[in-house]
Structure 1
Amino acid sequence: MTASERKTIYFIAGLPRSGSTLLANILAQHPRFYVTPTSGIVDMLVQVRNGWDTNDAFRAMDRPLSERIKADVLNAMLQAYFAHTDRPVCFDKNRYWAEFLEMGAALAGGRDNVKVLVTVRDLRDVLASFERLYRSTSAMGQLPQEAAMALKFKTALGRVQVFTDDAQPVGRAYNAIRDAVTRGWRDRMHFIDYDALTAKPAETMAGVYRFLGKEPYRHDFDHVEQVTFEDDSVYGFKDLHIIRQKVEPQPPQWPKVFDDAVFQSPVWKTVEGVAQFWKLYR
């Protein structure tokens, strides 16, 4: 692959249920941008990185040479993932990129080349969205979390506790974002508030283009065609990654989804305390 064929690759990370799929499909309107659905390439890169150092043949090599070849292989993997598209600017969407920005910098040619779009949303609405998905899915199916933690999943409060656990979607993504800031990546991260994106899409996308250093593009927010598709049954949910065609404000869901059985709990008080945590970093 020649230098002229190399893709410029940016990352999309953030909280679940915070508009990353919507953002991806808005970006996809740009004729030079290619966006992925939820991508597994970061998982593959991490597996190769970790496996490399446990392979006896690579361990027996000259160490600096082995490290150089490992970096070349990982870089080639990431570039090859986008070889099928002729669009020069690619966005890879995986909420856990925030955990691996050091590796991302090594593959991007340095820290200054790392740019991460981080979608965020009031954590109370993130949890309300998961609760609504549970209610729509549970009629005819069982979520993986329910199968693993059946008793705790019997109540709305229990489901809040499950989803905010460090090993579950909300807890892990929240921790990944906060730790990326702790590790010094704040200046390479651009937070995109779901409420701002849906209420003021033109203004919000203008901020995205400024962060990327790209010329603004006139998007059609009334007709966002969905071009990224995922089989949501793999994740155990129904309609997890389906977007509305028209970008418009969504009222807060949590006041109508939950009641005092949740609101008076210690775990909800903790959630309320960090519900809009990204505003601390402005």
Structure 2
Amino acid sequence: MTPKLHFISGLPRSGSTLLSALLRQNPRFHASMTSPVGSLVKRMLEAMSEDSEFSVFITPEQKRALVLSIFSAYYYPQADKEIIFDTNRVWCSKLSLIHELFPTAKVICCVRNIAWIMDSVERLVRRNAFDVSGLFQNPLERANVYSRTEALSQGGRLVGFAYNALKEAFYSEHSHSLLLVEYDLLSQNPEKTLSLIYQFLEEEPFTHDFENVQYDEPEFDKRLNTQGLHKVRKKVEFQPRQTVLPPDLFTKFNNLSFWTELSNSQANLIVAQPS
């Protein structure tokens, strides 16, 4: 049996690990945190590009087969599953590739107000006060909350890259294959949200346990010196809180949720409409 492939992408700190932890409760599904498949595909494409003198020996058919081999080899241990969800923020920038390789694949994009994403990362940094977070490249970036959020928002970094890739996908010709799921709605009403996700995937409903969710990747988070980055709380629930960001920073990032306006996009949405 060859598993069907779908993708999870979108913004960081927006519920992709929580969603994966829930989906993997279904014995037909395999889902996990960000996998290396996206990075491997990027490296393979670069190795076959015209920058390589050997590119003249690789036909378009061979390129397709080589990229497909990454998926089949990596997910060989999950060959008994019916559906595999591969998670990576890069997929929003690779919709054309996904469409060519897996025409029926769908992409679930986890989204969240950017101000609260910055707040979430900042809380993690402060919680690990004795560690030097690997999310930042040098002491200047780590210096204070302003330099940290500025670094994260750059185009090639954790938040900035994902945001730009999501916007590209949202307005692309393949936007109909997207489902944007807002973190607040997933955490406030997980049962209804999962039901809508199953409808989008055209899959049979499954009864999930929202009181006993289990997922953690302590070794991966330890390598980034950011403990708790992928730890999911046992119970799915929304926890309102005050932001730790200074007011001017929160305001700066608070109005960037372009996905609440569907003009020029065919994407599917599970998001709260602005008041």
TM-score (norm 2): 0.88
Match of 2:7 in 1: 11
Which of 37, 42, 49 in structure 1 is aligned with 2:33? 37
May I ask how many residue pairs the two structures share in their alignment?
261
> Is 1:144 the counterpart of 2:140 in the alignment?
no
Partner SS state of residue 84, structure 1: helix
Which of 82, 90, 102 in structure 1 is aligned with 2:75? 82
The percentage of counterpart residues that share the same residue type is 30
Q: Tell me the distance in 2 between the aligned counterparts of 1:158 and 1:57.
A: 42
Query: Which runs of 5 or more structure 1 residues have no equivalent in the other structure?
Result: none
TM-score (norm 1): 0.86
1:116-131 equivalence runs, <5 A: 116-131=107-122
Would the alpha carbon gap of residues 229 and 6 (structure 1) be closer, same or farther in structure 2, given more than 3 Å must change?
farther
* Contact 2:184–2:238 (8 Å) recurs in 1: yes
Question: Which letter maps to 2:92?
Answer: A
* Contact 1:230–1:241 (8 Å) recurs in 2: no
1:1-282 equivalence runs, <5 A: 5-54=1-50, 55-60=52-57, 66-85=59-78, 86-108=80-102, 110=103, 113-137=104-128, 139-148=129-138, 150-226=139-215, 231-254=220-243, 257-259=244-246, 263-264=247-248, 268-274=250-256, 276-281=257-262
Q: Tell me the distance in 2 between the aligned counterparts of 1:132 and 1:280.
A: 29
TM-aligned CA deviation for residue 189 of structure 1: 0.8
Q: Tell me the distance in 2 between the aligned counterparts of 1:9 and 1:253.
A: 39
Question: Which letter maps to 1:72?
Answer: A
Tell me the alpha carbon deviations over residues 228-282 of structure 1, each in whole angstroms, 9 at most, x when there is no partner: 665212233111000001101121442xx123xxx235xx5441221x3321235
CA RMSD, aligned part only?
Answer: 1.9
Query: Which runs of 5 or more structure 2 residues have no equivalent in the other structure?
Result: 263-268, 270-275
TM-aligned CA deviation for residue 76 of structure 1: 2.1
Tell me the alpha carbon deviations over residues 74-127 of structure 1, each in whole angstroms, 9 at most, x when there is no partner: 11221222111111200001112111111122221x2xx130011111211111
Q: Tell me the distance in 2 between the aligned counterparts of 1:155 and 1:56.
A: 45
* Contact 1:7–1:79 (8 Å) recurs in 2: no
TM-aligned CA deviation for residue 46 of structure 1: 1.7
Question: Which letter maps to 1:168?
Answer: R
Question: Which letter maps to 2:253?
Answer: V
Partner SS state of residue 43, structure 2: helix
Tell me the alpha carbon deviations over residues 115-144 of structure 1, each in whole angstroms, 9 at most, x when there is no partner: 00111112111111111111112x221123
Q: Tell me the distance in 2 between the aligned counterparts of 1:189 and 1:80.
A: 26
Tell me the alpha carbon deviations over residues 27-47 of structure 1, each in whole angstroms, 9 at most, x when there is no partner: 001010011321011111121
Would the alpha carbon gap of residues 145 and 41 (structure 1) be closer, same or farther in structure 2, given more than 3 Å must change?
closer
* Greater Rg by CA: 1
